């Protein structure tokens, strides 16, 4: 008997359709379903609330890429592999869909899957030499100027080597997983998700020669907020993490752990690119 934890996007309008399918699978398959305490209010009672000593085999994320990114924190805390079930539009991080759910459950029960370990960013914010934030991100860390129309001035140092001073709207620091997200919109390159590298992509730099760059994942990257007329913001995987002030130091390194993502299909990264992004179509 396998134990599955489920994590939902509460705003998905067809959650009841998902619940009905899960109830059917719960009654016909060898599986136990558990929900997180934070989502107890809207998930039906046939899914049991998880206890401290509950041992899980898998975490299932139901929603889009944003839901998957939120579920990553539960997956890491529980040291449990994560499968995305796409209910959204793009669903680049998901390897299953509602139509494929029954087969996906069967594959998980019968151990017919692979684990892909994804690089995480460790992000530290220092203010007047005091650490005010420590967190992680799977997709990206975005240093953004906030509501002001004026540009940020940011100094970028990698492994104690000066890289560039730039005036811009902000900077995206992305993992290979995040290379298909915000970084791509800023002109960043596409990277295979299993690469050991980090992208640094400026947002609307005043000097056009400041371009996205790829660095070894082992580098320690430091971003200094040198000039800001109003508070900026640091976003981690799309969520506001902390407001930023002049003089703040944002330190980004490769985390010492990785998230385990379940791969059920034999589709390559490049097949997914062609399908999701319509790449190479005439």
Specify the CATH number for the domain of residue 187.
2.60.200.30
Query: How confident is residue 282, by pLDDT bands cut at 50, 70 and 90?
Result: low
Residues 214 and 264 in one domain: no
Instruction: Please write the tens of the pLDDT for every residue from 32-68.
Output: 999 998 898 888 889 999 988 899 999 999 999 999 9
Identify whether 65 is a catalytic site residue: yes
Residues 205 and 270 in one domain: no
Residues 109 and 197 in one domain: no
The DSSP bridge pattern shows strands 197-203 and 213-216 to be antiparallel
Instruction: Please write the tens of the pLDDT for every residue from 72-119.
Output: 999 999 999 999 999 977 889 999 999 999 999 999 999 999 999 999
Q: Which of 20, 65, 140, 169 is catalytic?
A: 65
Query: How confident is residue 11, by pLDDT bands cut at 50, 70 and 90?
Result: confident
Residues 154 and 249 in one domain: yes
Does residue 282 fall inside a structural domain? Answer: no
pTM: 0.93
Backbone angles phi, psi at 243, to 5 degrees: -80, 150
Domain that holds residue 23: 2-118+258-277
Residues 129 and 179 in one domain: yes
Residues 11 and 98 in one domain: yes
Number of domains in the chain: 2
Instruction: Please write the tens of the pLDDT for every residue from 252-281.
Output: 999 999 999 999 988 889 998 998 888 876
Place of tokens 């690469």: 195
Residues 273 and 243 in one domain: no
Residues 145 and 220 in one domain: yes
Q: What is the pLDDT of residue 168?
A: 93
Residues 12 and 89 in one domain: yes
Does residue 157 fall inside a structural domain? Answer: yes
What does the pLDDT average to over 165-182?
96
239/12 Cα distance (integer angstroms): 18
207/124 Cα distance (integer angstroms): 27
Does residue 234 fall inside a structural domain? Answer: yes
Residues 140 and 224 in one domain: yes
CB 6 within 8 A of CB 38: no
Question: What is the percent of the chain with per-residue pLDDT over 90, rounded to a whole number?
Answer: 74
Residues 145 and 238 in one domain: yes
């Amino acid at each position: 008997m396998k134990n599955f934890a489920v994590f939902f996007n509460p705003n998905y309008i067809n959650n009841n359709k998902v619940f009905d399918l899960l109830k059917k699978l719960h009654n016909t398959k060898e599986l136990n379903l558990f929900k997180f305490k934070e989502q107890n209010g809207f998930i039906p009672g046939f899914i049991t609330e998880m206890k401290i000593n509950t041992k899980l085999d898998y975490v299932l994320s139901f929603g889009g890429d944003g839901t998957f990114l939120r579920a990553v924190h539960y997956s890491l805390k529980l040291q449990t592999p994560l499968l995305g079930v796409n209910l959204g539009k793009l669903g680049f991080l998901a390897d299953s869909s509602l139509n494929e759910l029954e087969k996906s459950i069967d594959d998980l029960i019968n151990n017919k899957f692979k684990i892909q370990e994804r690089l995480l960013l460790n992000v530290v914010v220092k203010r007047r030499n005091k650490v005010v934030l420590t967190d992680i991100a799977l997709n990206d860390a975005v240093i953004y100027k906030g509501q002001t129309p004026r540009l940020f001035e940011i100094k970028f140092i990698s492994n104690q080597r000066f890289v560039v001073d730039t005036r811009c709207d902000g900077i995206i620091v992305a993992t290979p997983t995040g290379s298909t997200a915000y970084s791509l919109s800023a002109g960043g390159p596409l990277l295979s998700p299993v690469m050991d590298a980090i992208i640094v992509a400026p947002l609307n730099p005043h000097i056009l020669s400041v371009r996205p760059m790829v660095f070894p994942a082992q580098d320690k990257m430091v971003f200094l907020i040198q000039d800001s007329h109003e508070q900026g913001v640091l976003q981690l995987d799309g969520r506001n993490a902390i407001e930023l002030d002049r003089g703040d130091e944002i330190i980004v390194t490769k985390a010492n752990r990785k998230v385990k993502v379940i791969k059920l299909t034999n589709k390559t990264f490049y097949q997914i690119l062609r399908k999701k992004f319509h790449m190479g179509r005439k």
